[in-house]
Amino acid sequence: MKLSLLGATGSIGTQALEVVRGLCRDEPGAVSVEVLAAHSNVGRLERQAREFKPKAVALFDPAAAKDLRDRTRDMDIQVLAGMEGLCEAAAWGSADTTLNAVVGMVGLLPTLEAIQSKKKLALANKETLVAGGSLVVEAARQNGVDILPVDSEHSAIFQCMQGCPGVRAVKRIILTASGGPFFGWDAERLRGVTPQQALRHPNWDMGAKITIDCATMMNKGLEVIEAAWLFGLPPERIGVVVHRESIVHSMVEFVDNAVMAQMGTPDMCLPIQYALTYPQRLACPTPPLDLAALGKLTFFEPDEESFRCLPVCIQALKRGGLVPAAANGANEAAVQLFLEGKIGFTDIPQLVEAAAQAQADQVPSNVEEVLEADRAARRYVWQAAGQERA
Ligand code: NDP
Ligand code: MG
């Protein structure tokens, strides 16, 4: 496999490189890393480039790209910059597989570039499908490109569906949610949550943005929309159940009421590797599961009153068109403001809901309309929070 890795310096990106190391240990040369991309983490990207010797590296931030160019003068490597560089990396000529693990809506254009260049696409960047699902799925269909899910729930569903005779055999899918650090808290108690508290996730070690999304349950809302696009299912056929232990990664209920679940230790290496090596199953760094040591698994209904982001996303999916893009853009802006201490924790769902409501019903016919809905939602949030930005 010849890999282009976007978001190489992040939580998914570094675990993807751990997977690559493992695959190459078992079979030297199994994966060649052709290009690595990130936002601005010069130090880490340089270390990765010296280890994996890609043909090119890309940094979104132009000043960081210049710095990296200076630091890699002794290497035979091309240094790309900006959105242009990120898109070039996504569509890199000698790569056959693109793993998109950047965080946020900024991943949409590179995703479309990868699809148009007919790369096999391993997708961790869920915001891409939430905001631009219709365009991405249609582009993939037209170009005959497979989208392989990296998100653990979607990987679980994808795994459970292997051998399934078609979507008509599926009654519904059931996404599991950990419930995050504030499971059982009521709206009043949630009001005082600080960024420091919200950044502590019980089961997973992830980037800051998705960790906050887990605490608000926006992550599960985004995942319902992601699942609708990946598996072609309407919102009524996508359920959510809280499962504190994060051992059952999600389930498929078939029309005969058989339920298939994929289980495993909570660790992203397995879904990352499965997306890269599909349909093969190979030895993986994820530790084995010891059910007797766990003793029991628990399941609960989600609390949609205290965690409003989940029903707000389901509503956005039902309205369709540009509404999910607005909800996602509003959330990205609100999470940023929360992390900066500018707004409270319970302001996040309120702002997402209001920005989604402000979005008119309109089906996007091109990517520019999605980008504009995203910008409008961000402006809405900044204005409502009294934080004018460029
Ligand atoms: P991190 O914050 O840990 O990493 C984000 C990565 O994206 C970094 O490499 C960062 O570069 C890069 N990046 C950010 N902005 C840009 C940009 N404008 N241009 C290029 N690169 C950029 O995030 P995660 O790894 O946690 O998450 C990545 C994606 O995967 C998200 O969409 C998330 O929802 C999804 N996901 C993550 C899971 C997890 O376990 N972490 C699980 C399931 C899904 P830099 O370091 O230079 O800033
Ligand atoms: Mg997930």
Residue 23 sits in a domain whose CATH number is 3.40.50.720
Number of structural domains the chain divides into: 2
N-terminal to C-terminal alpha carbon distance within the chain? 41
**Residue 61: what pLDDT?**
98
**What is the 153 CA–ligand 2 centroid distance (Å)?**
5
In the DSSP assignment, the letter for residue 300 is B
Residue of 5, 6, 12, 332 to mutate, ligand 1, most atoms within 8 A of C-beta = 12
**Ligand 1 atom at minimal distance to the Cα of residue 127:** 32
* CA proximity to 183, closest of 173, 205, 195, 198: 198
In the listed set 96, 117, 150, which residue is the last one of a domain according to the structure?
150
Q: Any residues with Cβ below 6 Å from ligand 1, and which? A: 7-13, 37-41, 60, 86, 101-103, 106, 124-127, 151, 204, 206-210, 268
The residue whose CA has the least distance to atom 22 of ligand 1 is 39
In the listed set 150, 166, 200, which residue is the last one of a domain according to the structure?
150
Residue 338 lies in a domain: no
**Residue 60: what pLDDT?**
98
Together in a domain, 215 and 167: yes
Together in a domain, 166 and 310: yes
Indicate the residue type of 110.
P
How far is it, in rounded angstroms, from Cα 175 to Cα 157? 8
Three-class SS of residue 36? strand
Between the alpha carbon of residue 362 and those of residues 90, 121, 134, 351, 379, the distances in Å are: 29, 28, 12, 20, 19
Together in a domain, 37 and 142: yes
Together in a domain, 139 and 42: yes
Residue 102 lies in a domain: yes
* DSSP H or E stretch at residue 78: strand 78-81
Residue 127 lies in a domain: yes
Q: How confident is the model at residue 204 (pLDDT cuts 50, 70, 90)?
A: confident
What is the average pLDDT across 113-119? 98
Q: Is residue 281's pLDDT more than 80?
A: yes
Residues in CB range of 16: below 8 A, 6 or more apart: 5, 8, 99, 101, 272, 276
Residue 100 lies in a domain: yes
Reported as a single tens digit per residue, the pLDDT across 232-246 is 999 999 999 999 999
Q: How confident is the model at residue 388 (pLDDT cuts 50, 70, 90)?
A: confident
Reported as a single tens digit per residue, the pLDDT across 313-327 is 999 999 999 999 999
How far is it, in rounded angstroms, from Cα 386 to Cα 3? 43
Cis-peptide, bond into residue 302, ω within 30° of zero:
no
8 A C-beta contact, residue 306 and residue 349: no
**What is the 381 CA–ligand 1 centroid distance (Å)?**
22
- Domain of 213 in residue numbering reads as 155-264+288-319
Together in a domain, 174 and 105: no
* DSSP H or E stretch at residue 154: helix 152-160
Tokens of 44: 């880490």
8 A C-beta contact, residue 34 and residue 58: no
Reported as a single tens digit per residue, the pLDDT across 342-383 is 999 999 999 999 999 999 999 999 999 999 999 999 999 999
Single pTM value for the model:
0.98
Together in a domain, 184 and 81: no
**What is the 103 CA–ligand 1 centroid distance (Å)?**
4
Instruction: Characterize 342-381 residue by residue with b for buried, 16 or more Cβ atoms within 10 angstroms of its Cβ, and e for exposed.
Output: ebebbbbbbbbbebbeebeeeebeebebbbebbebbbbbb
